[in-house]
């Protein structure tokens, strides 16, 4: 005000008018921002309510879900035929792993044509029918956005590699590399690929190296080139205009490359994703994507936050930034093993797992939103990794993890088959596997003599992504009802005669029926969505006990992490309350302060 008054005394009329207009615009902008901001009474416990915060998401890996035509490959009509099953389960958002045209070197995460459907999965008509079927059932669909890289068969790359002057040359990252005195060529820097070997490949046609953080057939796009970004926004609009509800964004923190791309230091080489992720222009790209595309639709976005620490989360998801809604943080799912290279399963403790969720609750603010998951198409099965998949304990331990995922803070993500308590596959020989990550790692580690074949295969069996990709077990007919043919693309787990959806449908005590009840309970209990979280006993290595509180309502969740019974006394004189759900028939022990928990038992009380 002071400035305006002074200037009106000393300045000319035009300048005065101009300044007054600026002032008016500022006042209008302030008023507008007040009217647009959600009034405090509409917040729920400080959070802005959103459908995607209240959602339960179910991930489908199309190749392995349901085959409709007997060729051994899951497809879109197969998914359509199972929508009633998903509706009955109670999930309300489906995340579809890539369904695009692809030569399929990396499970469809190598896209040849972003506007076409993978021919084994069907065609655009099948996609439209699937989307319509999902909408009819009041569910939503998010699709995978894989735009850090394409397939080398994508027309952009075909053009790009054809000559140094091609208009698409700068769609990808090309460098001359180094040439020694004797003519030997070496890559531009020491970046390793996620799938073993160097992240650079020399392309003879133009005698330059291109960057590929993943497979040789997955060249990285150059996001610094504005035309690349416009192409991506255009394909996003294409799918949003069809009616999809958002995206899971593949390795999204990798799109902005490190400034100058210097060699990784020995320390960085211990964990390359940290060095690759969150490059200097990432906020600018995400912001632009939000402004140009996402803000124009009612979407849900979840970024796969490879290489991102918890402390970096709000730089991606704080709602005042207008970038992403949520990310997947891998601290829990990768507990005891690194997120890079052919890792093996290491030891982990319950207190470590709790410390991860506790830290999330402390670090993330009411402007951030979290996800909770322990499975996806890149990780082994929950019950075999974190629980106990022996016949006596499998169902109870599977139920415990579903209880945890559906009652902790954040939007829960289930992966197909979790609701049945599906287990890891008994992988033995290299030919049992399909995954390029394993095949490349075998060459790198075993064929070079670094590791014995036996040790390598034994380690990989417990962590391989193929554990998640074996066909869905629908019933006890041959090939688990996944296909009517007899050649599923990846072998069916031999335990399908006991573990399958039809069997579990008819068993009231099954994992499937328990998960249905859990989802129903969550759907009617806002405290599990917006409520505060408190870990009651962080150091306890046997029992995980926590509360979720919203206003005057408090829920207590108690989980016995182990195959032996536990008498557990609640801390601070707390009493249990009324039992709402338990995974095994139990005496309710209502209002008890000591709970006699069975093996892998979990209980939910209302206090
Ligand atoms: C993501 C996907 C994984 C894929 C990789 C490269 O991590 O989840 O399946 O191999 O990106 O696209
Ligand atoms: Ca098929």
pLDDT value at residue 588: 86
Whether the CB-CB separation of 322 and 287 falls below 8 Å is answered with yes
Sorted by sequence, the CB contacts under 8 Å of residue 131 that are 6+ apart come out as: 141, 242, 243, 244
CA–CA dist 323, 8 (Å, integer): 41
Residue 38 banded pLDDT, cuts 50, 70, 90: low
Q: Which helix (H) or strand (E) holds 399?
A: helix 394-407
Which pLDDT band, with edges at 50, 70 and 90, does 340 fall under? confident
Distance, in Å, from the CA atom of 224 to the CA atom of 253, rounded to the nearest integer, reads 14
- Are the beta carbons of 514 and 583 closer than 8 angstroms? yes
**Residue 271 scores a pLDDT above 70:** yes
Q: Are strands 602-606 and 553-560 parallel, antiparallel or unpaired?
A: antiparallel
195 Cα: distance to centroid of ligand 1 (angstroms): 10
Report CA(108)–ligand 1 centroid distance (Å): 9
pLDDT at 135: 98
Provide the token pair at 203.
Answer: 């392309």
pLDDT for res 28: 43
> How many A from CA of 513 to the centre of ligand 1?
31
What share of the chain in percent tops pLDDT 70? 93
Whether 214 is in the pocket of ligand 1, judged by its Cβ within 6 Å, is yes
pLDDT at 41: 63
DSSP state at residue 196: S
pLDDT of 499 reads 98
Contact 229, 290 (CB under 8 A): no
Q: Helix/strand/coil (H, E, C) string of 423-443? A: CCCCCCCHHHCCCHHHHHHHH
Ligand 1 atom with the smallest distance to the CA of 306 is 7
Q: How far is the CA of 97 from the centre of ligand 1 (A)?
A: 10
Calpha distance 591→575 (Å, rounded): 5
Residue identified by tokens 């970024």 is 303
Q: What is the pLDDT of residue 192?
A: 97
Token digits of residue 366:
């009411």
- The verdict on the CB of residue 110 being under 6 Å from ligand 1 is no
* Sole residue written with tokens 């306890």: 540
- Helix (H) / strand (E) element for 186: namely strand 185-186
For residue 587, the CA-to-ligand 1 centroid distance in Å is 45
Strand, coil or helix: what is 327? strand
CB 598 within 8 A of CB 558: no
Asked if 148 and 154 touch (Cβ cutoff 8 Å), the reply is: no
Residue 2: pLDDT above 80?
no
Q: List, by residue number, the catalytic residues.
A: 250, 304
Cα–ligand 1 centroid distance for 250 (angstroms):
6
Alpha-carbon torsion, ordered 13, 18, 20, 23, to 10 deg = -160
Give CA–CA dist 183/177, Å, rounded.
12
Q: Considering only CA atoms, which residue is closest to atom 4 of ligand 1?
A: 109
Whether 209 lines ligand 1, by a CB cut-off of 6 Å, is no
Torsion of CA 433, 436, 439, 444, to 10 degrees: -150
Closest ligand 1 atom number to CA of residue 146: 12
Average pLDDT, the chain: 93
Distances (CA, A) of 454 to 195, 196, 197, 345, 445: 20, 19, 21, 16, 12
Question: Using a 6 Å cutoff on CB, does residue 251 contact ligand 1?
Answer: yes
What's the predicted TM-score (pTM) here?
0.93
pLDDT reading at 10 higher than 50: no
Measured distance CA(563)–CA(263) in Å, rounded: 48
Structure tokens at 287: 């912001």
- The answer for residues whose C-beta is within 8 angstroms of residue 167's C-beta and 6 or more apart is 159
Q: Which of 108, 250, 252 to mutate to test the pocket of ligand 1 (most atoms within 8 A of CB)?
A: 250
* Predicted confidence band of residue 337 (pLDDT cuts 50, 70, 90): confident
**pLDDT for res 503:** 98
Burial 591-603 (b: 16+ CB within 10 A, else e): ebeebebbbbbbb
Q: Using most ligand atoms within 8 A of CB, pick from 64, 221, 305, 378 the residue to mutate for ligand 1.
A: 378
Q: In 85-182, where do the E strands start and end?
A: 93-96, 100-101, 113-117, 140-145, 174-175, 178-179
Please tell me the distance from the alpha carbon of residue 581 to that of residue 1, in angstroms, as a whole number.
62
Tell me, using a 6 A CB cutoff, whether residue 504 lines ligand 1: no
Q: How deeply is 574 buried, as exposed, middle or buried, from its count of CB atoms within 10 A (0-12, 13-18, 19+)?
A: middle
User: 219 and 152 in contact (C-beta within 8 Å)?
Assistant: yes
Residue pLDDT, tens place only, 398-455 = 999 999 999 999 999 999 999 999 999 999 999 999 999 999 999 999 999 999 999 9
Residue 32 has pLDDT above 90, yes or no: no
Q: Residue 268: pLDDT band by 50, 70, 90 thresholds?
A: very high
* CB distance 106 to ligand 1 below 6 Å: yes
**Interstrand relation of 566-569 and 174-175 (parallel, antiparallel or unpaired):** unpaired
**Rounded CA separation 188/186 (Å):** 7
- Nearest residue to 287 (alpha-carbon basis) of 254, 311, 251, 316: 316
Give per-residue pLDDT as tens, 219-250. Answer: 999 999 999 999 999 999 999 999 999 999 99
Nearest ligand 1 atom to alpha carbon 106: 10
pLDDT (mean) for 589-603: 95
The token pair that represents 328 in the structure block: 């997947």
Q: Which-ligand-closest: CA of 471?
A: 2
Please tell me what DSSP assigns to residue 127: H
Q: Mean per-residue pLDDT for 99-110?
A: 98
What is the pLDDT confidence band of residue 342, given thresholds at 50, 70 and 90? low
9: pLDDT strictly greater than 60:
no
Q: Which of 9-13, 81-85, 384-388 has the lowest mean pLDDT?
A: 9-13
Beta-sheet pairing, 300-304 with 371-372? unpaired
Give Cα 222 to chain centroid, integer Å.
23
């Amino acid at each position: 005000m002071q400035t305006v008054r002074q200037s009106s005394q000393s300045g000319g009329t035009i300048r005065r008018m101009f300044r007054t207009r600026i002032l008016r615009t500022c006042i209008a902008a302030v008023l507008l921002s007040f009217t647009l901001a959600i009034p405090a009474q509409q917040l729920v416990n400080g959070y802005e309510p959103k459908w995607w915060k209240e959602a339960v998401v179910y991930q489908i890996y199309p190749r392995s879900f349901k085959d409709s035509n007997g060729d051994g490959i899951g497809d879109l009509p197969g998914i359509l035929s199972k929508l009633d099953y998903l509706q009955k389960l109670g999930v309300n958002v489906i995340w579809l792993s890539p369904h695009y045209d692809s030569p399929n070197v990396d499970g469809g995460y190598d896209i040849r044509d972003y506007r076409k459907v993978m021919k084994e999965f069907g065609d655009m008509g099948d996609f439209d029918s699937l989307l319509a079927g999902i909408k009819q059932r009041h569910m939503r669909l998010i699709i995978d956005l894989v735009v850090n890289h394409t397939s080398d068969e994508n027309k952009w790359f075909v053009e790009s590699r054809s000559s140094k002057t091609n208009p698409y040359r700068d769609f990808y990252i090309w460098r001359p590399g180094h040439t020694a005195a004797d003519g030997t060529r070496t890559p531009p820097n020491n970046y390793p690929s996620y799938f073993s070997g160097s992240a650079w490949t020399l392309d003879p046609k133009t005698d330059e190296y291109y960057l590929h953080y993943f497979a040789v057939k997955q060249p990285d796009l150059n996001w610094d080139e504005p035309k690349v970004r416009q192409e991506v926004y255009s394909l996003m609009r294409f799918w949003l205009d069809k009616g999809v509800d958002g995206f899971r964004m593949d390795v999204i923190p990798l799109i902005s490359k490190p400034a100058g791309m210097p060699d990784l230091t020995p320390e960085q080489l211990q964990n390359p994703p940290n060095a690759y992720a969150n490059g200097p222009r990432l906020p600018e790209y995400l912001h632009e994507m939000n402004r140009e595309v996402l803000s124009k639709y009612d979407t849900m976005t979840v970024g796969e936050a490879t290489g991102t620490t918890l402390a970096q989360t709000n730089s991606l998801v704080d709602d005042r930034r207008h970038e992403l809604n949520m990310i997947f943080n891998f601290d829990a799912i990768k507990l005891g093993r690194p997120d890079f290279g052919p890792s093996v399963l290491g030891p982990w403790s319950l207190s470590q797992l709790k410390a991860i969720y506790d830290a999330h609750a402390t670090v993330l603010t009411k402007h951030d939103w979290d996800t909770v998951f322990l499975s996806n198409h890149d990780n082994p099965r929950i019950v075999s990794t974190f629980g106990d998949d022996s016949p006596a304990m499998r169902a109870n331990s599977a139920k415990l993890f579903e209880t945890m995922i559906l009652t902790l803070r954040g939007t829960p993500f289930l992966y197909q088959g979790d609701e049945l308590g599906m287990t890891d596959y008994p992988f033995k020989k290299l030919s049992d596997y399909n995954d390029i990550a394993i095949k490349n790692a075998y060459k790198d580690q075993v064929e070079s003599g670094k590791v014995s074949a036996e040790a390598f295969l034994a380690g990989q069996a417990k962590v391989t992504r193929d554990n998640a990709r074996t066909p869905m077990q629908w019933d006890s007919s041959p090939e688990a009802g996944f296909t009517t043919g007899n050649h599923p693309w990846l072998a069916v787990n031999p335990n399908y005669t006991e573990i399958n959806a039809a069997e579990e449908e008819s068993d009231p005590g099954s994992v499937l029926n328990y998960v249905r009840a859990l989802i129903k309970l969550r759907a009617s209990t806002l405290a599990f969505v917006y409520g505060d979280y408190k870990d009651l006993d962080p150091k306890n290595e046997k029992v995980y006990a926590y509360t979720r509180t919203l206003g005057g309502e408090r829920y207590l969740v108690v989980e016995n992490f182990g195959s032996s019974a536990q008498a557990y006394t609640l801390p601070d004189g707390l009493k249990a309350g009324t039992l709402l759900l338990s995974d095994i028939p139990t005496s309710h022990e209502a209002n008890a302060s000591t709970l006699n928990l069975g093996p892998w038992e979990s209980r939910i009380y209302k206090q």
